Amino acid sequence: MIRSNTIDMTHGSGGRAMAQLIDELFIHYFDNDLLRQGNDQASFSISKGRMSISTDGHVISPLFFSGGDIGSLSVHGTLNDVSMSGAQPLYLSAGFIIEEGFPLVDLERIVKSMAEASATARVPIITGDTKVVERGKGDGVFITTTAVGMIPEGVNISGDRAAPGDAIIISGNIGDHGIAILSSRENLEFETTIQSDSAALHEMIEEMVKAVPEIHCLRDPTRGGVATTLNELAQQSSVGMQIRESSIPINSAVSAACELLGLDPLYVANEGKLICISHPDDAPALLSLMQKHPLGSNAAIIGEVVEDPYKFVQMETVLGGSRVIDWLAGEQLPRIC
Partner 1 sequence: MKYVDEFRSGKLARKLAEKIAHASDPNRQYNLMEFCGGHTHAIFRYGIHDLLPGNINFIHGPGCPVCVLPTGRIDQAIHLLENENIILCSYGDLLRVPATERKSLLRVKAAGGDVRMVYSTQDALRIARENPEREVVFFAIGFETTTPPTAVAIQQAAAEGLNNFTVFSNHVLTPAAIQSILQSPEVREIGTVSIDGFFGPSHVSAIIGSRPYEFFAEEFQRPVVIAGFEPLDVMQSTLMLVQQLNEGRYEVENEYSRIVTREGNQKAQALVAEVFELRQLFEWRGLGDVPYSALQIRKQYAKFDSERRFTIPQIDSPDIKGCECPSILRGAKQPSDCKLFGTLCTPENPMGSCMVSSEGACAAYWSYGRFRQGDRAPE
User: Is residue 193 involved in binding partner 1 (CB under 8 A)?
Assistant: no
- Choose, by CB under 8 A, the member of 51, 105, 188, 285 that binds partner 1: 188
| CB 266 to partner 1: min, Å | 11
- Choose, by CB under 8 A, the member of 31, 134, 259, 281 that binds partner 1: 259
DSSP 162-229: --TT-EEEE-S-SSHHHHHHHHHSTTS-------------HHHHHHHHHH-TT--EEE---TTHHHHH
Distance in angstroms between the alpha carbons of the first and the last residue of the chain: 56
> Would you say the C-alpha torsion 283, 284, 285, 287 has a positive or negative sign?
positive
* Cβ closest to partner 1, residue 117 vs residue 182: 182
Among positions 217-256, residues that touch partner 1 (CB under 8 A) are 246, 252, 255-256
Among positions 296-325, residues that touch partner 1 (CB under 8 A) are 309-312, 314, 316-324
Burial class (CB in 10 A: 0-12, 13-18, 19+), 329: exposed
- Choose, by CB under 8 A, the member of 40, 187, 193, 294 that binds partner 1: 187
Which distant-in-sequence residues (6+ apart) come within 8 Å of 275 by Cβ? 168, 169, 170, 171, 217, 218, 219, 220, 221, 226, 229, 230, 233
- Choose, by CB under 8 A, the member of 40, 47, 154, 329 that binds partner 1: 329
* Cβ closest to partner 1, residue 29 vs residue 312: 312
* Cβ closest to partner 1, residue 4 vs residue 238: 238
| CB 310 to partner 1: min, Å | 4
* Cβ closest to partner 1, residue 71 vs residue 265: 265
C-alpha span between 169 and 276 (Å, rounded): 5
| CB 326 to partner 1: min, Å | 4
Indicate the SS3 state at residue 15: coil
- Give the residues lining the site for partner 1 (CB under 8 A): 187-189, 246, 252, 255-256, 259, 261-262, 309-312, 314, 316-324, 326-327, 329-331, 333-337
